[in-house]
Amino acid sequence: PFSCGDIDLSPISVLVTVKDSSANTATCSSEITVQDTIKPVASCHPTFSTTLVSSSVSISISDIDSGSSDNCGVAVYQISPSSFSSPGVYPVTLTVSDSSGNQDQCLSSVTVNAGPTPTPTQ
């Protein structure tokens, strides 16, 4: 059987030999192209909360991803948006892609809380 490791080796030459009940044989060669057409499965935490520390806050993929997977391995993780400059509730999209260009997305809700109010000094 072929696997994900064979994608970069494609096309692969194979020799096929068949034999009938009278022991007659025939042989031919063929080219096999291995492709990954199975898209990844994006998996998001439904919600995430963070607090503004200064004028903005950034989130990371690990804040949103809850175990995305792919049969040949996830090659790229992207989140959008990933930084926020005001309190609120924001939809964040996680996109996962494999090396064959297959993609999947999921959505998380990110709550950005106001940071502590600075105390004026006298």
Indicate the pTM of the whole model: 0.83
Q: Are strands 57-58 and 83-84 parallel, antiparallel or unpaired?
A: antiparallel
The CA–CA distances, whole Å, from 84 to 15, 38, 78 equal 58, 34, 16
pLDDT (tens digit per residue) in 4-33: 999 999 899 999 999 999 999 999 999 999
Percent of all residues in the chain with a pLDDT value above 70, rounded to a whole number? 98
> Over the range 56-92, which residues count as b (16 or more CB within 10 Å of their CB) and which as e?
ebebeeebbbeebebebebeebebeeeebeeeeeeeb
Query: What is the H or E stretch that residue 109 is in?
Result: strand 103-113
Percent of all residues in the chain with a pLDDT value above 90, rounded to a whole number? 89
Rounded to whole angstroms, how far apart are CA atoms 110 and 96?
18
Which among 51, 48, 50 has a CA at the least distance from the CA of 117? Answer: 51
